[in-house]
Amino acid sequence: NAGVTQTPKFQVLKTGQSMTLQCAQDMNHNSMYWYRQDPGMGLRLIYYSASEGTTDKGEVPNGYNVSRLNKREFSLRLESAAPSQTSVYFCASSEMRRGADTQYFGPGTRLTVL
Amino acid sequence: QKEVEQDPGPLSVPEGAIVSLNCTYSNSAFQYFMWYRQYSRKGPELLMYTYSSGNKEDGRFTAQVDKSSKYISLFIRDSQPSDSATYLCAMSGRDDKIIFGKGTRLHILP
């Protein structure tokens, strides 16, 4: 099992460009999450999907959109990138959307917006 | 007051020492408490999970929760250089919202 995979690993964008971060999990998990991690800020939830077909905003959703393509895949789109979106982005999955459930994280995507 | 507070470190200790990592929190509704370990340029991975108050031991790691003081700890015995990482506390309550601490960077010196 690969667990949670993310593509790309690194990306450099210019302000105003768009891109989609891809995430897939092979653990048959129902819930999937997108976080960003910034120095001094910790992990902050951008969007989550409790189950296939549903998505909800997290703590910092502005400037992002998501798509739960199927049970395995959850993508994050930046429509018009801004320097403030320079960050490391992590996708995670868990069996259920419960606080007690273990979240399994991907390796991250390092995004720089110039 | 922030919901979860964690000293960012860095914390440097010699190999073999006992390490104590801590978080405080303000929300008395939290009942699930977790510690994640994150190696450099990797995603976090769950290390320990406890429910409510008390201690839980797993090998060299002990997680401790004191709900009356709103304080959780992770102890690492016989620390190894491979324990060098960032440790994030995380907690949640009935609303399933997980709050992460900002992480403490730990360096174990050979």
Question: Is B58's pLDDT higher than 90?
Answer: yes
Q: For residue B78, give every residue at least 6 positions away whose Cβ sits within 8 Å of its Cβ, in sequence order, or none.
A: B16, B18, B60
Is the N-terminal amide bond of B10 cis, ω within 30° of 0? yes
All residues of chain B having their beta carbon less than 8 Å from the beta carbon of residue A43 are 44, 88, 100
Using one digit for the tens of pLDDT, what is the confidence trace for B12-38?
A: 999 999 999 999 999 988 988 999 999
Degrees, nearest 5: CA angle B77-B82-B86: 85
> Are the C-beta atoms of B13 and B83 separated by less than 8 Å?
no
Q: In this structure, what is the dihedral angle of CA atoms B11, B14, B15, B21, given to the nearest 10 degrees?
A: -30
Question: Is B97's pLDDT higher than 90?
Answer: no
Using one digit for the tens of pLDDT, what is the confidence trace for A41-73?
A: 889 999 999 888 899 999 999 999 999 989 999
Percentage of chain B lying above the pLDDT 90 cut: 74
The three-state DSSP-derived secondary structure of B9-47 is: CCEEEECCCCEEEEEEECCCCCCEEEEEEECCCCCCEEE
Q: Do B42 and A107 touch (CB under 8 A)?
A: yes
Q: By CA distance, what is A96's nearest residue in B?
A: B96
Q: Do A43 and B44 touch (CB under 8 A)?
A: yes
Using one digit for the tens of pLDDT, what is the confidence trace for A89-109?
A: 999 999 876 666 788 999 999
Confidence of residue A2 (pLDDT cuts 50, 70, 90): confident
Tokens 């004191």 correspond to what residue? B66
Give the pLDDT confidence score for residue B26 in this predicted structure: 93
State the best of B40, B45, B56, B96 to mutate against chain A, taking most chain A CBs within 10 Å.
B96
- For chain A, the average pLDDT equals 93
Question: Is B94's pLDDT higher than 90?
Answer: no
Give the pLDDT confidence score for residue B1 in this predicted structure: 62
Chain A interface residues (partner B, CB cutoff 8 A): 4, 40-43, 45, 90, 92, 97-100, 102-108
